[in-house]
Amino acid sequence: MLTPERWVQVERLFHAALERPVLERAAFLDDSCAGDVSLRDEVQSLLDESSPGDDFLEGPPVAIPATTDIDQPQRLIGRRLSAYELHSWIGAGGMGEVYRARDVKLGRDVAIKVLPEQLSTDPERVARFKREATILATLNHPNIAAIYALEESDDVVGLVLELVEGPTLADRLSTGSLPVNEALTMARQAAEAIEAAHAKGIIHRDLKPANIKLTAHGTVKVLDFGLAKAVDHVEVSVTTRPTIDVTREGTILGTAAYMSPEQAR
């Protein structure tokens, strides 16, 4: 039986592994487990039970083909989306693929999040994806990764986002426990970001370590509002107002261990 301390270690590595492309997970576990075969087997068992590229509760119960573009990180590299040239792969999850890109007009690097190809023709997923852009556009806070644009081509819809360099909190936790002062500093910044979102009537719904990044200067950036929900008093246009089709009311979204108290209620 796993002790509570051992389970925390397994869970941290599990979530850190989920944030990596499928083809990179084995090497990540080999390195992180450092010869601890039992630890590696426990984490691998959880990965084997999870759905491809995602936590089993991170999206609605919709069938996704066994082979997805999460296994094909070269799909859009070399493509151009408006003024943005996609150069390299950053990572993927069930809600999207993220690429590093170059803004050729302004001469800066950005992150571009796109839907996996198999989901790009699903009207519900596209609507939710565009809704993320609308939600992000209402937020302006130093601890929330900014959105610059929403771009569309014939077969790609992309969110142009602030490129946040540095590890996720999940990466940081996979190396060991945080000192109390460091943990409090990070928690305060993350709480301020969520408070700013709440002030706009927005609930994140998936605030897990993998969705929090740490910059080299110690700044926390909250990422991925793809499962966020705007409550009734937020002003949104008719085309972006949440509907049953877009949000699937009554469906559990998010990662169970990090579900928002509003959603749990």
Residue 118: how many CB atoms within 10 A of its CB? 14
Q: How far lies 143's CA from each of 44, 138, 190, 195, in Å? A: 33, 14, 7, 11
Count of positions (residues) in the chain: 265
CA–CA separation, 233 vs 200, rounded Å? Answer: 9
* Burial class of 207 by CB neighbour count within 10 A (0 to 12, 13 to 18, 19+): buried
Active site residues: 206
φ/ψ of 243, rounded to 5, equals -130, 170
Nearest Cα to 159, choosing from 93, 222, 209, 115? 115
